[in-house]
Amino acid sequence: MCGLCLPHCPTYQLHHSELESPRGRIALLQAVAAGKLSADESLLAHLDSCLVCRACEKMCPSKVPYGDLIDAGRALLREQGQPARPMVKQLLHQISDKKRLQRNGSLLRSYQRSGVQRLLRASGLLKLTSIAGAEKALPPIPPRQTLAPLYPATGALRGRVGLFTGCISSLLEGEVQQAAIALLTTLGYEVHVPQNQRCCGSLHQHNGEPQRAAELADDNIPLFDEMGLDAVVSTASGCAAQLSEYPRLYGQGHTPFYEVCDFLSTLEWPDTIQLKPLQQTVWLHLPCSQRNVIGNSGAVAQLLSRIPQLQLEALPENHLCCGSAGSYQLTRPDNASALRERKLNLIDSTAELIVSNNLGCALHLQSGLEQRGSAVEVIHPLLLLVRALP
């Protein structure tokens, strides 16, 4: 009830309304749980507009577990017969099955490369449909990359790690996953890529489908545990945040999960690896999943400081969500754009390159920059590191 979380809440910053604050949403959830309030469109809109960034939870002096409350509240609404928004429902369906996702990814790739997308966009027909917003937000689908089940270490073996490839990451972030493999094997790690791993369940967990999230975790946990690995790493901080919560949420699993920069930053690098210098200023974006859930917010900066001559600057307002937040662009595109614009307005005009270790944030920021006609690029920090390898 103290309200200390309010200034840290991005939607409160946008709307200055109690109902758009953590305290307001907790009051709404309490009323729904007690049967004093039924879910109407206005209530759903206030709950939908929470980014689940958990900035409030991090600042709360009473340790109110806000993340668990909003997840449970959304699950309760589903139980009471409130369906997920159609676009979110479709997204959750797609990512539940990686083979289906890859198949549909191939179709989208053909749609983009065959010229059909360009024609449809030019014709204006898309604007007449309900998918116009989602189609506009669709990132370019890169050529499909298939990873081998095992990459041996270079030189003496230091350990064995698993690579968590994720669902959307495996479709869009193949180059980053190759970079992770290159860095890990160079540092003496054998990298295992189990071919039947599944989505981490994060989007299901935060969108009212905790049962589905638990089913996915039930498949992933024994898969990695049975391999006897030292650790499992993920290149997307959003997935890594969900994976790092497995023991707390499900009380099982003994293999530690890491965000890949977090893992690499804790390792001793042999003197034989001297990275090439890069004379450039790079702006660092800090995803909420790293800052508020995983912790070790300095991991990326620490890792990039290994590149000689690289200048690193923190992106303004790194304590506030950029508006990406998983499926948020589908449920609240207005807020997602407003938060992104606020951040982009503060970026130094001399900026050329932004790094972000979360795929969703990187795509969201890149799309906003392109809409402005900006040439600033947003890339994963591992791509900089791998380019600097001797």
Name the residues that contact ligand SF4, by CB under 6 A. Answer: 1-5, 8-11, 22-23, 25, 50-56, 60, 62, 64, 66
Nearer to ligand SF4, 22 or 105 (CB): 22
- For the CB of residue 45, give the shortest distance to ligand SF4 in the complex, in Å: 13
Kindly give, in sequence order, each residue whose CB lies less than 8 Å from that of residue 5, ignoring residues fewer than 6 positions away: 21, 22, 23, 55, 56, 57, 59, 60, 66
Nearer to ligand SF4, 3 or 142 (CB): 3
Burial tier of 2 (Cβ tally within 10 Å: 0-12, 13-18, 19+) = exposed
CA nearest neighbour of 74 among 210, 178, 186, 180? 210
Nearer to ligand SF4, 282 or 361 (CB): 361
- For the CB of residue 326, give the shortest distance to ligand SF4 in the complex, in Å: 12
- For the CB of residue 133, give the shortest distance to ligand SF4 in the complex, in Å: 21
- Residue 291 is given by DSSP the state I
CA nearest neighbour of 139 among 350, 360, 375? 360
- For the CB of residue 384, give the shortest distance to ligand SF4 in the complex, in Å: 29
Element (H, E) at 47: helix 41-48
CA nearest neighbour of 386 among 179, 152, 163, 185? 179
Q: Quickly tell me which residue has 């200023």 as its tokens.
A: 281
Nearer to ligand SF4, 75 or 303 (CB): 75
3-state SS, residue 335: helix
Nearer to ligand SF4, 2 or 125 (CB): 2
Nearer to ligand SF4, 56 or 264 (CB): 56
- For the CB of residue 207, give the shortest distance to ligand SF4 in the complex, in Å: 14
- The residue type of 5 is C
- For the CB of residue 107, give the shortest distance to ligand SF4 in the complex, in Å: 34
